[in-house]
A and B are shown apart, each in its own frame.
Chain A
Amino acid sequence: MLDLDMSPYAAFVWPAWGISALVLGALTARAAIAGRRWKRDLDRLEGAEPRPQAARSAVGPKETGPRP
């Protein structure tokens, strides 16, 4: 049976649990957001990355000198 009446210590018990929930929730959200962001960036870069053979045939011989 749940007992949610914390008196006379409610001012200590609930903040302890509340801060814990807040911090753990923030860590989880941050992990999800950062994970999605870098996955999206990587997918975009790898999707745009030409295969070495295709790149060579598309642009011709490799340039040797510095670009103007």
Chain B
Amino acid sequence: MFGLSNPQRFMAFTGPLAPVLWAAAGVLLAVGAWLSFSVPADYQQGDTVRIMFVHVPAAVWGLGAYGALGVSSFFALVFRHALADAAARAAALPGAALTGLALVTGSLWGQPMWGTWWVWDARLTSVLVLFLFYLGYMALRASIDDEQKAARAAAVLGLVGLVNLPIVKFSVDWWNTLHQPASFLSPGSSGLDPAYVPAFLTMLAAYGVLFSALWLSAIRTEVRRRRVVTLRARRRWRPECSTWT
């Protein structure tokens, strides 16, 4: 496993894995969408229950992506590992997009069910803070020219943002919120209606596999980008190759 921290071994190992993940994500998304529109409407929420199949997976993997970003940032900061830094950077954009999707689809679900697009309750606010952490992370990286300094500063911000993850997860338990508490795999809750479980789990898996494919592809692209930057820099400094610059 630790052998994969070598970029060359990582590229060799993940080369065949990426197309498999893309194909699996496509199949799971297609099956999940079909299941989502095959289940009966909810007796209370009507057809808006179908928003759950895109809202919850986006929220779960938006949170998971930040976990990946934070753990990678830790390894990048403590061990100065370039691949860990690439992994942290690669998780930012898909994570931000998924968190943004969770906010937008949640708003579209909230209006017909709660009668409001937005409310400043603990769950919604903490997810908005998570989204802002993503934006801050990407903005910080983009604003510093020196890649090593940018990586270190962004890793610190990434680690600080980890504090927000338990707040997002437990906000519905710690405070009175308009947002419902966890209703799946949560002891004591009424649980999800069994009719919705296959569609929900398929979409959850689809988003997870898609995030994995996006993350892996982004790490591979980042490794290649750094290699290109290194080769270009080397050419500029090698007199015998000066005709190529």
Per-residue contact bits, chain B 197-218, to A (CB 8 Å; 1 contact, 0 not): 0000000000000100110011
Identify the closest chain A residue to B53 (Cβ): A17
Q: Given the complex, which residues of A lie within 8 Å of B142, measured CB to CB?
A: none
- Knowing A46-B231, A67-B242, say if A35 contacts B214 (CB, 8 Å): no
- The answer on a CB contact under 8 Å between A23 and B100 is yes
How would you classify the secondary structure of chain A's contact residues: helix, strand, loop or mixed?
Answer: helix
Structural contact, B224 and A63, CB atoms closer than 8 A? no
Interface of B is mostly: helix
Residues of A within 8 A of B104 (CB): 16, 19
Alpha-carbon separation in the docked complex, A17 to B242 (Å): 53
Contact A24 B210 (CB under 8 A): yes
Could you tell me how many residues of chain B have their Cβ less than 8 Å away from some Cβ of chain A? 45
**Residues of A participating in the B interface, judged by any CB pair closer than 8 Å:** 1-10, 12-13, 15-17, 19-20, 23-24, 26-28, 30-32, 34-35, 38-39, 41-42, 45-46, 48-50, 55, 58-59, 62-63, 67
Q: A16 to chain B: which residues have CB within 8 Å?
A: 51, 54-55, 104-105, 108-109
B89-113 near A? 1/0 per residue, CB < 8 Å: 0000110010011001100110110
| Chain A residue at minimum C-beta to C-beta distance from B41 | A3
Contact A13 B231, beta carbon cutoff 8 Å: no
Contact bitstring B219-241, A, C-beta under 8 A = 1, else 0: 01100110110011000000111
